[in-house]
A and B are shown apart, each in its own frame.
Chain A
């Protein structure tokens, strides 16, 4: 079992107001699954994604990643887990604007302690070739299209061989055609054995996953396998 979420709860205290972003979420995800987490804005799906991505920790409940309880580890340990086990793909691409594409893909290697500049660059080039960008490695993010940026982000997410790819509205900033291309890459990666969790509010995108978890008002409303 890759992921086990047990009664996850997240409460924000905003001055005198207590906001329950996530009330009670429990589910399990096996290795090799392609899961879409869907819900309207304010449903708590972003909060859930932050917890699943180890960017945040639950107020109550427990979250096991590969059998390890990560609901109560230190910030540094969380950073290490993000680096080794999770690959992020964001709606805003979140590339470093001043670095080249190659340098961007190298960042997780640097923080992962992979030594040797030449080895890093080689790994990064391989990852970029996998997403079809082997010829643009020295461009900067503002010199390439949105679809290409998202491919760079996918290459960056894959570089440390993570157990889990976490995509947050990966097609939200792309036109329909490019969005489809990116979804094809995700499906291909899933076929190759990668576990993918995708957060979206778009039913059409969610339908391309193999399992859909629907979140509403901080609760899991529906959890169904599509195909």
Chain B
């Protein structure tokens, strides 16, 4: 009998095609929005996450702390705390720290022949390659020897090499660097591989010089901005953070002078932010589902009134209250279910479009499809019950004489 009632329900929906479609529209938009938003959210998240892990793995950043200003003293950033020697001590004292390098960079103008280019110049040690998983494609990187003897050598990012030497081989060529009224000559010893646009601007256009050159010949300071450390393994990252914090607190006697952040923490923060955002947008889409449900209830009530006579006939022929009830609930479910399916299709298409534009993978989880679809059925059931009850409670005598 269920099968017959189901067929009758579908029949009655196809009689008023436009009306059925319009009342489904709310559900279609709601489900589509949920699918698209959740998919775009997780796609963007996986994009950002992969970009961050592309920068290297198990990274820990040690940066200056900010001192609170108290009793008339102005708050300031602790700058004169990190030296090259301290980096070595951290590495010696913290067994979970595999590699460590200073964070040191400046902005300068590079001149090669008649071309010049304003860019970021990074002071590095050889550890940079392993820490950021970034290697030269041609020539060599800054070596330990360059570092200790503070030799004026430079490695160019692949984009920067294109800018400065569009037609010639940059290896062995001389580049002039202007920083704050000083100028130095460098010999190009290597060109980096292409890595694509990272999360923090274009790393392809950076220039790399030995850290010692930047400190002694340009900055004239023995302090660096901070350190980037790499844990010996992914599982050791947490331990490394603890060891560094313990060592530095003892060394400086003040935990407010520095901050230690791991990449893991950064990823957590980002996924929290995108998660909250998805939840909020999903909530808004959920409201659309609710409105869609009210639309279905409205049209079901109209349908019950219009079909009062039909209900009377069915009752005269032996339909019990529950037969009528089931018929109208199935109609509501068919409407919301079909709307849900169309919505899933449209949401999927929308997500695929955005993923194509954004250049990230299309992520439509079974979970989100299942949740959206069952929610649409639930909405149909919830808003279908009242009209269906109303229909089933009709008095056959009154219903039969309804014009």
Q: Which residues of A contact B321 (CB under 8 A)?
A: 75-76, 79
Contact A96 B315 (CB under 8 A): no
Q: Within B273-324, which residues are at the interface with A (CB < 8 Å)? A: 309-310, 312-323
- Is the C-beta of A226 less than 8 angstroms from some C-beta in chain B? no
Q: Which residues of A contact B15 (CB under 8 A)?
A: 98
Do A56 and B314 touch (CB < 8 A)?
Answer: no
Measured in the bound complex, the distance between the Cα atoms of B318 and A66 in whole Å is: 18
Q: Taking the nearest CB of chain B, how far is it from the CB of A152, in angstroms?
A: 13
Give the residues in chain B near A110, CB-CB below 8 Å. 1, 4
Do B313 and A94 have beta carbons less than 8 Å apart? yes
Cβ contact within 8 Å between B1 and A113: yes
**Residues 48-88 of chain A, each 1 if its beta carbon lies under 8 Å from chain B, else 0:** 00100101100000000000000000011001101110001
B11 at the interface (CB under 8 A from A): yes
Judge whether A111 is part of the interface by a CB distance below 8 angstroms: yes
Dominant secondary structure at the B interface: helix
The listed residue with most A CB atoms (<10 A of its CB), out of B12, B312, B315, is B315
B11 touching A94, Cβ below 8 Å:
no
Q: How far is the CA of A117 from the CA of B8 in the complex (A)?
A: 14
**A88 & B4 in contact (Cβ 8 Å cutoff):** no
| CB closest chain-B residue, reference A56 | B397
In the complex, B396 has a CB within 8 A of chain A:
yes
Task: Check A55 against B320 for contact (C-beta < 8 Å).
Answer: no
Given the known interface contacts A94-B309, A98-B12, the answer about A79 and B320 at a Cβ–Cβ threshold of 8 Å is: yes
Any chain B CB within 8 A of the CB of A156?
yes
Query: From residue B289, how far is it (CB to closest CB) to chain A in Å?
Result: 30
**Measured between C-beta atoms, what is the minimum distance from B14 to chain A in Å?**
9
Cβ–Cβ contact A111 & B316, under 8 A: no
B338 within 8 A of A: no
Given the interface pairs A55-B400, A94-B309, A110-B4, the reply to whether A88 lies near B316 with Cβ below 8 Å is: yes
Jot down 23 A-B pairs with beta carbons below 8 A, ordered by A: A55-B400, A56-B396, A75-B321, A79-B318, A79-B320, A82-B317, A83-B317, A84-B318, A88-B316, A88-B317, A90-B400, A94-B316, A94-B400, A96-B313, A96-B314, A98-B12, A98-B15, A110-B1, A111-B317, A111-B318, A112-B318, A113-B1, A156-B317
Closest CB pairs A-B (n = 4): A83-B318, A111-B318, A79-B320, A76-B320
